[in-house]
Amino acid sequence: MLDIARKTEELQGVEPDAIPYAALVEAGEPVILKGVARKWPAVQAGQQSVSVAIDYFKQFDAGRPVTAYRAAPETGGRFFYDETVTAPNYDAGTVPFSAFLDSIRDQLEDSSSPHFYIGSTDTELYLPGFRDKNDLALNHPMFDAGGMLVSVWIGNRTTAAAHYDMSNNLACCLVGQRRFTLFPPEQVHNLYPGPLEPTPGGQVVSMVDFRDPDFETYPRFKEALGAGQVAELDPGDVLFFPALWWHQVEALSPFNAMMNYWWNEVPAFMDNPMDTLLHGLLSLRDRPVAEKEGWRALFDYYVFGPADKAGAHLPEAARGALGDLDDLTARRLRAQLLRRLNR
pLDDT band for 147, please (50, 70, 90 cuts).
Answer: confident
- Distance (Å, whole) CA 251 – CA 31: 19
What's the pLDDT at 171? 98
Domain layout of the chain by residue ranges: 9-263, 273-342
pLDDT band for 111, please (50, 70, 90 cuts).
Answer: confident
What's the pLDDT at 201? 84
The torsion defined by the Cα of 325, 24, 129 and 236, in degrees rounded to 10, comes to 160
Query: Which span out of 105-114, 187-196, 322-331 was modeled with the highest average pLDDT?
Result: 187-196
In terms of Cα–Cα distance, which of 163, 4, 3 is closest to 78? 163
100 has pLDDT over 80:
yes
pLDDT in tens, 37-77: 999 999 999 999 999 999 999 999 999 999 999 999 999 99
Average pLDDT over residues 154-176: 97
Domain 9-263 has CATH 3.40.720.10: no
The torsion defined by the Cα of 229, 160, 118 and 256, in degrees rounded to 10, comes to -50
What's the pLDDT at 156? 97
Say what percent of the chain tops pLDDT 70.
99
Cβ atoms of 150 and 259 closer than 8 Å: yes
Angle at 94 between CA 90 and CA 99, to 5 degrees: 105
Average pLDDT over residues 14-41: 96
* DSSP letter for each residue of 257-325: EEEEEEE-SS-TTSPPHHHHHHHHHHHTTTS-HHHHHHHHHHHIIIIIS-TTTTTTTS-GGG-GGGS--
1 has pLDDT over 70:
no
Q: What is the CA 138 to chain-centroid distance, rounded? A: 19
Tell me if residue 103 falls in helix, strand or coil.
helix
321 has pLDDT over 70:
yes
- Distance (Å, whole) CA 303 – CA 296: 10
What lies within 8 Å, CB to CB, of 201 at 6+ separation is 79, 119, 120, 160, 163
Cis peptide bond N-terminal to 198, omega within 30? yes
What's the pLDDT at 256? 98
Whole-model pTM over 0.75 = yes
48: which DSSP letter?
H
Query: What is the chain's length?
Result: 343
Cβ atoms of 59 and 275 closer than 8 Å: no
Say what percent of the chain tops pLDDT 90.
92
In terms of Cα–Cα distance, which of 56, 49, 1, 11 is closest to 238? 11
Q: Compute how many other C-beta atoms are within 10 angstroms of the C-beta atom of residue 131.
A: 15
- Among 136-140, 174-178, 253-257, 338-342, name the one with the lowest average pLDDT: 338-342
208 has pLDDT over 90:
yes
Phi and psi, residue 27, nearest 5°: -65, -35
Tell me if residue 38 falls in helix, strand or coil.
coil
**Alpha-carbon distances of 137 from 29, 53, 60, 134, 294, rounded to whole Å:** 21, 23, 21, 10, 47
pLDDT band for 144, please (50, 70, 90 cuts).
Answer: confident
What's the pLDDT at 5? 83
**Alpha-carbon distances of 2 from 5, 181, 211, rounded to whole Å:** 9, 9, 7
The H or E element containing residue 44 is helix 41-48
Cβ atoms of 108 and 137 closer than 8 Å: no
Q: In what order do the strands lie in the sheet with 90-96?
A: 9-11, 31-33, 238-241, 168-175, 256-263, 148-155, 115-122, 65-71, 90-96
